[in-house]
Chain A
């Protein structure tokens, strides 16, 4: 341990005196303190390179406990780069290294219970569901029904009324939504399997006649002041023969202030964060005969290539979540891209890896990052939804307070003991990708962003006539939305 502490400072070219050393050594999480001290010193006061006991004391007093909450994937190497800005970057929610499933049936059971309980807590917080009862109890009474249940099945009667089967731990009930009850019926058209809803109605025999369906929903949030710019990208697909390297280079040049008109350069100057919502590389073995469409057939080299691109972006904090093409497990939540595969990227000190989904705070702005696999299911199941308008899907998911409600279709879900896909906290920004088509919408104060792609139309997309929006990069600059074109 002793050597470790000293080595780290040596590596960072910082001298420390005896008293500083003692203070650090006696601190209960010394390794952590070392890292944050080094970071603090390299970012704030480049001229002072001797660390004294007093500095340590001041630092601890001034910053604790907040600054120490920030998580870093730091190793013994130091932060060589001098980053001019002071970031307040925090990972609020991350599923990496928290996979506690053994793949057994009880894990599956606890996964759905976790989902149900988290969402029920959100629902029963609402006025209209304060008095909700268990389904078993509701079905034994004759009067008003007020329940919270997970959707099992959705059917139609012969007369085209909707039947929704919901369940909780005590039992299940079939809810009938009359097609002349237009408002409710229209709402019910957007209900999908395995989401959790509140039902208000009355019991008629074995059926519940619904008067109202309640989503967990989101309240309108207040706008937060923002004096910096955040760039949102995804689906870069480095390694693919359809990766648009020229456009991506222009994008990097822009961030570095070497591309674009005056206004664009001004924005670039203001950029503090870049968020990547998955599919940074094209991966290998994602679909049959993928090797024929790859220019880099080695997954390690794909990430090395990515590291070369991202290594050219200094002075900006980069946050990377995995997508279905990345070298993480396929089932969601996907843990952060493993270091084994992305060594070069891990060596970049201004780059952070998070899970998919993950919630981060960028100077107090909460960004929920989700790659968007569940859009496939939503587009297939819900009338009027499509890959082209992922903003509508995002809005719906936000109202459902779940990123991937439908189980058993295209989106593989890991039977984690806790459901990490529930949207427990309302973000300021929901950032997604996957569909390769940009979209933007403001819903109740939340920015809904799909960041398109840096990959031109693939063979697969050609067959299905999917036209991607390439190299269109959304930016939130001082709180307002801008789209920049690098194509």
Chain B
């Protein structure tokens, strides 16, 4: 049986069990509420409908692009006979038209967003047919905040498709009044000043042009409590900011003008030509830029990632600074999709990098996740005794960590070509590395295949310096990277003093011995060059290989007269060609730490059962039940048995056992003690100390969960989320190949679930073979596994005791989870993706195939999302629990994609490289700063495999890594308890790293974290709300009565503590480091402001009296 068939069979089995359980009638629906969708078309139908649309989409997909399909489907929906015939003058028929338009926009947007994102459901409030002042009809689309999840292009296309629908329905264009146009202009500015920056800041005239010309009304619900001055416009319902509409207009239509125009032309839509203006201005700017860009690429410094330096999140390298991360091209089996490799020894030495820790980087993108790769260069460090060593293993790193006084070089960062391609960033010169060197050798005229065995032997045994020089001479290639030092980081003068220092007693020197030198300032040059050496008995000792290399490279003093670079000068004297070892340094700082943790709401409930404030602040149902009867706001259900008709709040009538239907909700007195007693009995649990409920239901119907579910969740120590599923959240990391030993699963077990062969086609027997990962398989964290084991116990208890069926999982240890199905679901989306657990990682992350993450519309730059057990989702998820508020359907599994089609997922994963070796030509092209798109022919990636069988297998990588969870598993940020300690360590690290300016870091932390935080909190303190300790009600201003309407105590919502939080540490930093006096004064001013707010002049005066 094939892989997908196995998954499908497992899914079908689970659905069958869930169907049987649901039939028992304990839940509001008699069937599992997550429809299965095999592909995009089915997902669209499942998410937004209309029924039957999947078939239509499938029929069109063969001949049209996805966008074309979207527009055509939308047209079909609004041009059905019923809709066309409807007369807008008639109220009911008007509604038919309006509803069709609404449906069409949603369906089209859903197709454009691959049927995954929640925007078609939550990002559009409604579509209305409205009237111009000349009495003609036009179409208006009401956007909401969650349209953000669709992204710029999709929201722009939502506007365009609305216009397409308007035309298809024969409606007129929207004719805005001057007031309405100016309202948009004002809102765009107000949004940026009051809410947050837009990705693109439009000029008022740009907004004016767009507002005037878009042929439909782009409007929306109020999103922020900010009022505009263009108030009470007849056709604009709200006087508050319409955030969703702004996103669609500015980040959508205006920012993506060229794309919108392209589709408008393709669909022969007139009335969009004005966009030409936008596209042109942008293009002109761009072409001018690119000319400059490529010239300046090497000198242009982008320090955006350093603009905010956060306390406890160290800067690891300044932009393009010597000693920073060296750019190395390639992909390891755990990199790509914005995850990048760093040597685990580097991670150990800096301690703030663990597997999955996010970094904000200088380029090629904005951020990444760090994963270990041990076939790239590790750090070069200086120890307390003066030794300078290359660290190339985790063990050594741990051993010497405490003696490190300087991190001279951080080592490599392994960046895939695909990262440059995705960000459309010109290629940067590649670091000089073995994989480049060896290709030069193989391409040398002096090389033939007969020399292969000899070469392989050299590579295996290691190449000595004399051999390296010999090979270079023999094949006329540059010197091997191991013996190439960072010459470009020092001056010619430096090298000359080094050269004469080396030659002081050279006559006695035997080339096979170490070179022993008297200490001098030249040692620092050795350090900067990255030459490892030792200090013994006060002498500097160079090992034979290093000594040989330097003496044969720096054969005579360099030319210091002519205006040439150090590299050029070195090459004039060297006996062989010397390459620039690190032509590109990458800057970066630590971002969000890695995460793997169960999803807990605050407070975390075991059951979605409302108990008001009866259970105390812990919402303990047991405490509430001690009161006997309680009054809560809850659903009212009516028995369907005509002879009974009893009202209750359960799906089964407690009197006659017939099904009930929810009728309304309201305050109701319930006998909780009695309910709990029965539920204990039903669930076969004797007594628990704590079962946590919720204060009130936030769903429309307020239908509660059966108490039994809460009892069993409490018994097994698991918590529910707002939709009644149990989630575990982890940082997303990519994985294309695994080794059975590292994921803790035996080859035998793996063979059972279909992994029969390794990467080379050999049968899988040995736990150390490398195996290619199937695209829907997951390697979950051990913490996740432990939690899911408990979830499986809960499910089995539930099946046995509540549904009275056979247990499903019968899992004892986490290994038993292997082969079981799970659902991955990302926030902002509403479609779960089916996955299968196949192993475990010690890292605090979830390793899965890049396709799997892309199917959830995530990448791996520290996005995190959840997994749940399939059976939990099928049994317990219900739409009835979803919050009725805007955005309530996001992060809920409204459909389940059972099969990933690489063509139908986010195209980010199409940039994934799949090559064993990057071609020589590519390395050479990087030196010319070419655009990645211009050399994409040289690279094999997923895009070239789409639609073929190769999209599923043979996604090979270029750099091996011996384990996907080497190095620290927990970032130091998470283990240090207080901010003071975090900042102390951050600054100590800054002191050690050569590529970081310590004073700059201190100033950065103050400037971008502590000072704004304090200033913000002082401001917030003086306009804060108050809150009731008993019922949690919030008041914008303290009531004059001084107490809550419930009689409870009121407390401040912003405490003195949060205002003072960073004051002491800021003062201490200001005292300890010679920072900018401007900052010192800002701290002083904040301090006096704080004192004025918290210290009474009376107490100051009286203390003064005492003093006198």
Quick one: given A103-B1021, A412-B1019, are A329 and B1038 in contact (CB under 8 Å)?
no
Measured CB to CB, the nearest residue on chain B to A409 is B1023
Question: Could you tell me if A299 and B1081 are in contact, using CB atoms closer than 8 angstroms?
Answer: yes
Beta-carbon contact of A298 and B1078 below 8 Å: yes
Query: B1009 contacts the other chain (Cβ, under 8 Å)?
Result: no
Chain B residues in 8 Å Cβ range of A415:
1022
A169: chain B residues within 8 A (beta carbon)? 1040-1042
Chain A neighbourhood of B1026, CB < 8 A: 105, 108
- Whether B1092 contacts A335 by the Cβ 8 Å rule is yes
- Assess the A105–B1040 pair: CB atoms within 8 A: no
Q: Does any Cβ of A come within 8 Å of B1050's Cβ?
A: yes
A272 to B306 alpha-carbon distance, docked (Å)? 53
* A412 in contact with B1092 (CB, 8 Å): no
| B1039: nearest chain-A partner, CB-CB | A167
Residues of B within 8 A of A331 (CB): 1018, 1022, 1089, 1092-1093
Contact of A101 with B by CB under 8 A: yes
Contacts A284-B1078, A335-B1092, A411-B1023: A112 and B1040 contacting too (C-beta < 8 A)? yes
Residues of A within 8 A of B89 (CB): none
Q: How far is the CA of A272 from the CA of B1095 in the complex (A)?
A: 38
B687 interface hit (Cβ, 8 Å):
no
Q: How distant is B735 from chain A, measured CB to nearest CB, in Å?
A: 41
User: B1081 and A99: CB pair below 8 A?
Assistant: no
Q: Does A19 contact B (CB under 8 A)?
A: no
Q: Is residue B231 contacting chain A, with contact meaning CB distance below 8 A?
A: yes
Q: Closest CB-CB distance, B1026 to chain A, in whole Å?
A: 7
Select B1037's contact among A99, A152, A172, beta carbons within 8 Å: A152
Closest residue to A465 on the B side, CB-wise?
B204
* A414 to B1056 alpha-carbon distance, docked (Å): 13
Q: Are B1038 and A105 in contact (CB under 8 A)?
A: yes
CB contacts (< 8 Å) of B1037 on chain A: these are 112, 152, 193-194, 407-408
Closest to A330 in B: B1089
Q: In whole angstroms, what is the CA distance A299 to B1042 when docked?
A: 40
A194–B1039 CA distance with the chains assembled, in angstroms: 10
**Shortest distance between the CB of A426 and any CB in chain B (Å):** 25
Across the interface, do B1040 and A327 meet the contact criterion of CB distance under 8 Å? no
A454 and B648 alpha carbons, distance in the complex (Å): 73
B227 with A381: CB separation less than 8 A: yes
Q: Report if B663 contacts A (CB, 8 A).
A: no
How many angstroms between the C-alpha atoms of A415 and B1036 in the bound complex? 14
Which residue of chain B is the closest to A99 with respect to CB atoms?
A: B1097
Decide if B1097 touches A298 in the complex (CB within 8 Å): no
Instruction: Check B1012 for interface membership: any CB of A closer than 8 A.
Output: yes
- A278 CB → nearest B CB, Å: 16
| Contact B1023–A100 (Cβ < 8 Å) | no
Asked whether, in the complex, the Cβ of A170 is within 8 Å of the Cβ of B1052, the reply is no
Check B1098 against A100 for contact (C-beta < 8 Å): yes
Interchain CB contact (< 8 A) of A407 among B227, B1023, B1041: B1023
In-complex Cβ contact of A414 among B1022, B1078, B1085, B1099 (8 A)? B1022
A 80-125 contacts with B by CB, 8 A: 97-106, 108-109, 112-113, 116
A284-B1082 CB under 8 A given contacts A103-B1093, A109-B1042, A329-B1092 = yes
| Cα–Cα distance between A265 and B1023 once the two chains are bound (Å) | 47
CB interface residues, B 1037-1066, toward A, < 8 Å: 1037-1042, 1050-1052, 1056
Residues on the A chain within 8 Å of B1038, using CB = 105, 108-109, 112
**Cβ of A98 and Cβ of B1097 under 8 Å apart?**
yes
Tell me the complex Cα distance, A381–B1018, Å. 23
Per the bound structure, the CA–CA distance linking A330 and B1016 in Å amounts to 11
Say if the beta carbon of A46 comes within 8 Å of chain B: no
- Answer whether A330 and B1019 are a contact pair too, CB < 8 Å, given A100-B1097, A383-B231, A407-B1037: yes
Given A100-B1096, A331-B1022, A105 contacting B1052 (CB threshold 8 A) = yes
CA distance A420 to B383 in the complex (A): 63
Contacts of B1019 in A (CB 8 A): 330, 412
Taking CB atoms, residues of chain A closer than 8 Å to B1012 are 288
Query: How far is A178 from B1022 in the complex, measured between Cα atoms in Å?
Result: 35
Contact with A along B1083-1108 (1 / 0, CB 8 A): 00110110011111111000000000
A338 touches B1093 (CB 8 A): no
Q: Looking across the interface, which residue of chain A has its beta carbon closest to that of B1077? A: A298
Contacts of B471 in A (CB 8 A): none
Alpha-carbon separation in the docked complex, A269 to B933 (Å): 76
Please tell me if A219 contacts chain B, counting CB pairs below 8 Å.
no
Q: In whole angstroms, how far apart are the Cα atoms of A161 and B75 in the complex? A: 42
CB distance from B1036 to the nearest CB of A (A): 5
The chain A residue sitting closest to B1056, CB to CB, is A103
Q: Contact check: which of A97, A150, A412 meets B1023 at CB < 8 Å?
A: A412
**Docked-complex contact B1036 and A408, CB < 8 angstroms:** yes
Give chain B residues whose Cβ lies under 8 Å from the Cβ of A172.
1039
**Quick one: given A330-B1019, A407-B1023, are A284 and B1093 in contact (CB under 8 Å)?**
no
Q: Residue on B with the closest CB to A463? A: B189
B865-921 with Cβ < 8 A to chain A? none
- A330–B1022 CB distance below 8 A: yes
Partner of B1011, one of A285, A298, A329, A338: A285
- A168 interface contact, C-beta 8 A: yes
In the bound complex, CA of A408 to CA of B1021 (Å): 9
Within 8 A of B (CB), among A391-442: 407-409, 411-415
A108 surroundings in chain B (CB, below 8 A): 1026, 1038, 1052
> Which of A167, A328, A329, A380 makes the CB contact (< 8 A) with B227?
A380
| Cβ contact of A327, chosen from B227, B1051, B1085, cutoff 8 A | B1085
Min CB gap B204→A, angstroms: 8
**A168 near B1040 (CB under 8 angstroms)?**
yes
- What's the Cα separation between A216 and B360 when bound, in Å? 57
A328 to B1086, CA, bound (A): 10
A291 at interface, CB cutoff 8 A: yes
- Between B1041, B1081, B1093, B1095, the greatest number of chain A beta carbons within 10 A of the residue's beta carbon is seen for B1093
Which residue of the partner chain B has the closest CB to A160? B232
CA distance A380 to B1094 in the complex (A): 30
Chain A residues, CB < 8 A from B496? none
In the complex, the answer to whether B1022 meets A412 with C-beta atoms within 8 Å is: yes
Q: Does B1015 contact A (CB under 8 A)?
A: yes
In the complex formed, the residue of B with least CB distance to A327 is: B1085
Q: Please tell me if B925 contacts chain A, counting CB pairs below 8 Å.
A: no
| Chain B residues, CB < 8 A from A25 | none
Interchain nearest-CB distance for A443 vs B (Å): 23
Q: Which of A98, A297, A380, A413 interacts with B1022 by CB under 8 Å?
A: A413
> Once the chains bind, are B227 and A102 in contact (CB under 8 Å)?
no
Closest to B1054 in A: A103
* B377 CB, min distance to chain A CBs, angstroms: 38
| B1098 partner residues in chain A, CB cutoff 8 A | 100
A109 to B1036, alpha carbons, bound, how many Å?
13
Quick check: A285 and B1082 within 8 Å, CB to CB? yes
| Contact between A414 and B1093, CB atoms less than 8 A apart | yes
Q: CB < 8 Å: which of A193, A297, A329 contacts B1088?
A: A329
Residues of A within 8 A of B1042 (CB): 106, 109, 113, 169
- What CA separation (Å) do A298 and B229 show in the bound complex? 38
CA distance A354 to B1094 in the complex (A): 21
B-chain residues with CB within 8 Å of residue A380 when the two chains form the complex = 227, 229
Whether the pair B1085, A102 counts as a contact (CB closer than 8 A) is no
What separation, in Å, do the CA atoms of A113 and B1042 have in the docked complex?
9
Q: Most B CB atoms within 10 A — which of A103, A108, A414?
A: A103
Question: Once the chains are docked, how many angstroms separate the CA of A463 from the CA of B1051?
Answer: 40
A329 lies within 8 A of B1093 (CB): yes
- Could you jot down 12 A-B contacts, CB within 8 Å? A99-B1097, A100-B1096, A103-B1093, A105-B1051, A108-B1038, A112-B1040, A167-B1039, A291-B1078, A298-B1077, A330-B1019, A331-B1089, A407-B1037
In the A-B complex, the 9 residue pairs with the closest CB atoms: A412-B1022, A285-B1082, A329-B1092, A331-B1022, A329-B1089, A103-B1094, A408-B1023, A109-B1042, A100-B1096
Residues on B lying within 8 angstroms of A by beta carbon are 189, 193, 227, 229, 231, 1011-1012, 1015, 1018-1019, 1021-1026, 1036-1042, 1050-1052, 1056, 1077-1078, 1081-1082, 1085-1086, 1088-1089, 1092-1099
